[in-house]
Amino acid sequence: MKQMNDNMVAFIGAGNMARCVIAAMVKAGYPADNIIAANRSQPKLTALAADFAIHTTLDNIEAVTKADVIVLAVKPQMMQDVCTALINAAPEISEKLFVTLAAGITVARYQQWLGQIRLVRAMPNTPSLVGLGVTGLFPSGCSNYEKAFVDHMFSGTGMNVWLQDEAQIDHIIAVSGSSPAYFFFFMQAMQHVAEQLGFDAAQAKQMVAQTALGAATMALNSEHSFAELRAQVTSKGGTTHEAVTTFANQGLEKMVSDAMYAAIKRAQEMAQTL
Ligand SMILES: NC(=O)C1=CN([C@@H]2O[C@H](COP(=O)(O)OP(=O)(O)OC[C@H]3O[C@@H](n4cnc5c(N)ncnc54)[C@H](OP(=O)(O)O)[C@@H]3O)[C@@H](O)[C@H]2O)C=CC1
Ligand SMILES: O=C(O)[C@@H]1CCC=N1
């Protein structure tokens, strides 16, 4: 068995999420020399090589042939074509460990395309880029060493959550995979109003992001529930009460619930159709 950091990890697809995971791995001390990224076009590879000194190639087959661990990081709609091309060109890769980042593609589907592979479905999120992500992990057919390796591989992304049931991957998409976008949307709306109120764009963005960071840091370091932390801000008869009541009256909780269930429904639909 190799030492963990001696495994060669190949990313197939070098887009947003691959970059986030690679950044987290390298920052956590994974040797850049043992990471290779393949992409169908050059620009993102050039940037990854410049930023992290990893190996890169335009040839997916070259990457998987060199790898011990193959990370599938293309869009779900591309996945079947990519997997089929890989297995046809290099059937021996079915003995390697696979990790997939894709939403909405089940273990059963990968097995149709690639055979009885050992696979971890991973669901990271973009804050992995700064080591403050959450990654859901669901293993299928893996050894304890392989699970330990994947845990190690994602340790720099932030927080790993191992899942017992494949359906929970769709749930973690709603809770943490997609949710950075919810917070960015909320912050975008706040920035817009801050600008209407006369703050310049850069200042408004910084004030909103700093407040979000402060609130999240308080919550992470506090025993209090979100409701209790909210109560600490909300003076009786004061300004916060008016703002929060406006959210409540306009159905914020239902809107959040509807949005999260819509994300889950979409993942389930993708699992039926891809
Ligand atoms: N973004 C996110 O927040 C999250 C994404 N995911 C999952 O991660 C996966 C990737 O998403 P994301 O990084 O956002 O998508 P991107 O579009 O940013 O990245 C996909 C990359 O795949 C490349 N690509 C496409 N076809 C091929 C091919 N045949 N061979 C090699 N490379 C190819 C694209 O190249 P090119 O540059 O030429 O287009 C692109 O760089 C998805 O399956 C998604 O479900 C999971 C969790 C969170
Ligand atoms: O939007 C998507 O489908 C991907 C999966 C989770 C975040 N982005």
Q: What is the CATH number of the domain that holds 238?
A: 1.10.3730.10
Number of domains within the chain: 2
Domain enclosing residue 69, as ranges: 4-167
Last residue of a domain, one of 105, 137, 167: 167
Q: How far apart are CA 120 and CA 70, in angstroms?
A: 10
Mean pLDDT, rounded, for 128-151: 97
In a domain, 83, yes or no: yes
Q: What pLDDT is recorded for position 274?
A: 83
pTM for the model stands at 0.96
10-69 pLDDT per residue, tens: 999 999 999 999 999 999 999 999 999 999 999 999 999 999 999 999 999 999 999 999
**Of the residues 114, 135, 167, which one is the last residue of a structural domain?**
167
Distance set, CA 204 to CA 152, 179, 188, 194 (Å): 38, 22, 10, 6
Residues with CB under 6 Å of ligand 1 are 12-18, 38-41, 44, 60, 73-76, 78, 82, 101-103, 123-126, 177
Q: List binding-site positions.
A: 12-17, 60, 73-76
Question: Which amino acid does the sequence have at 250?
Answer: Q
The answer to whether 123 touches 171, Cβ cutoff 8 Å, is no
At residue 246, does pLDDT exceed 90? yes
**Predicted local distance difference test score (pLDDT) of residue 1:** 83
3-state SS assignment for residue 3: coil
191-209 burial, b at 16+ Cβ within 10 Å, e below that, comes to beebeeeebeeeebbeebe
Q: Please determine, for residue 171, whether its predicted confidence score (pLDDT) is greater than 90.
A: yes
Question: Is the predicted ipTM greater than 0.95, yes or no?
Answer: yes
Same domain, 84 and 29: yes
Question: What type of residue is 138?
Answer: F
In this structure, are 149 and 255 located in the same domain?
A: no
For residue 55, give the CATH number of its domain: 3.40.50.720
